Amino acid sequence: MPRTKEQFEEMRNATRAKIHAAAMQLFVHQGFGSTNVQDIADTAGISIGLLYRHYRTKDQLFHELVDFAVEGLKRNIAYFESDLSPKTLLARFVDEIYTDFMNGEELVNLLILINQSMFAGAGTPSKQHEEILQVNARLLDATARLIRKGQHLGEFRSGDAREMAVFFYASVQGLAEMKVLLKNSFAMPSPSVLTAFLFREGVDVS
């Protein structure tokens, strides 16, 4: 029986997911320059011909992965602008980060991939590079506003909100790099450790 259009689309999406996972793993662990399309095809368990049916070049695949990561940052900005209490929002966000770091490497790889793209594009700024800078700045601003709101409500410790936001993301980025470097010996700090510099003691998360 011939496959339906929906079945073909499902197969196509499954193949792209394999390619994405393989490419992220290789770009992070080997570097973009040291990874070739044959490496990606072999890691994904597909033929190089099938890979080329989805992506014409390695650069196209890399840029699509970075776009995917940037969309995740945009969702975080919208999340931080919701009406829940700042402490609830940040606590849930940190819980998600903790779970993702403990259960897999996708978030870790996406964070490192964005970093790679920013450093690679620093010398020759592109439209994508400029978008990453803008979205990162917006995320930092949204987080700083959230911290100020939490300070006003008595949920967060006092301090410069922007400095605290920078420290928070620097910590998460550093943990992503440590997880890749240390592998099985990596120990993920608990959510309470990640938020100890932010949350005031004795304030419940509702």
Within 10 A of 117 (CB to CB), how many other CB atoms are there? Answer: 23
Expressed as residue numbers, the domain containing 41 is 1-56
- Count up the domains in the chain and report the number: 2
Q: How far apart (Å, rounded) are the C-alpha atoms in residues 28 and 44?
A: 15
Are the C-beta atoms of residues 23 and 59 closer than 8 Å to each other? no
Instruction: Specify whether 36 is located in the same domain as 75.
Output: no
Task: Assign residue 104 the CATH number of its domain.
Answer: 1.10.357.10
Are the C-beta atoms of residues 200 and 152 closer than 8 Å to each other? no
Instruction: Specify whether 206 is located in the same domain as 120.
Output: yes
The answer for residues whose C-beta is within 8 angstroms of residue 66's C-beta and 6 or more apart is: 113, 114, 117, 128, 132
**Backbone dihedral region for residue 57 (phi beyond 0: left; psi -120 to 50: alpha; all else: beta):** beta
Task: Assign residue 14 the CATH number of its domain.
Answer: 1.10.10.60
Instruction: Specify whether 130 is located in the same domain as 191.
Output: yes
Instruction: Specify whether 33 is located in the same domain as 98.
Output: no
- Please list the pLDDT of the chain residue by residue as tens digits (206 residues): 567 878 788 889 999 999 999 999 999 989 888 999 999 999 999 999 999 999 999 999 999 999 999 999 999 999 999 989 999 999 999 999 999 999 988 899 999 999 888 887 666 668 888 999 999 999 999 999 999 999 999 999 999 999 999 999 999 999 999 999 999 999 999 999 999 999 998 656 55
Are the C-beta atoms of residues 132 and 66 closer than 8 Å to each other? yes
For tokens 């943990």, the residue is 175
Instruction: Specify whether 159 is located in the same domain as 86.
Output: yes
Burial 120-156 (b: 16+ CB within 10 A, else e): ebeeeeeebbeebeebeeebbebbbbbbbbbbeeebb
Q: Is the pTM of this model over 0.95?
A: no
CA atoms within 13 A on the CB side of 144: 14
